[in-house]
Amino acid sequence: MNRQTVTRAAFAIAFTAMTLAPTAHAASFFKKGTPDTQTSMKKAGKTIKFTVRNDSNEARELRVGDDVVTIAAKSSKQLEAADGTRVYSNTATDKVAAGTLMVQLSKDMNNATLALN
């Protein structure tokens, strides 16, 4: 082989290696510590347990995610929802309009009490 052929072959190998290096790095089988998808979703979807206490004289409806929950007057109810779930008022009162965002659940709210006046 002449010098020009060797140079072209070396250039082709180097070009291929540089092109494939980012792809190889991004491939999941090269990463030993990569968590699987379900494990990371379980961590992100942690269940938050909380209590809603209705101190008013009338029943209130709340929309917790896609579920509508009725809290009787002067009573409490324990609920569970995923981290990040939004809780909306589903009943209009003189203080809060229906559809108002009451709270967005976070891990800091685990075992907390939400009081409705």
CATH number, domain with residue 60: 2.60.40.780
Any domain includes 73: yes
- Helix (H) or strand (E) holding 62, with range, is strand 60-64
Host domain of residue 19: 3-30
Domain count, the chain: 2
- The residue-averaged pLDDT of 64-87 equals 94
Higher model confidence: residue 91 or residue 39?
A: 91
Residue 92 is assigned to a structural domain of this protein: yes
Same domain, 50 and 76: yes
26 and 50 both lie in a single domain: no
Q: What is the pLDDT of residue 39?
A: 46
Q: In sequence order, what are the residues at sequence separation of 6 or more whose Cβ sits closer than 8 angstroms to the Cβ of residue 21?
A: none
pLDDT exceeds 80 at position 95? yes
pLDDT digits (tens, 9 = 90+) for 22-48: 655 555 555 555 444 444 444 556 899
Confidence at residue 41, expressed as pLDDT on a 0 to 100 scale: 43
Q: How many CB atoms lie within 10 A of CB 103?
A: 16
What pLDDT is recorded for position 12?
A: 78
Q: Quick one: what percent of the chain has pLDDT higher than 70?
A: 77
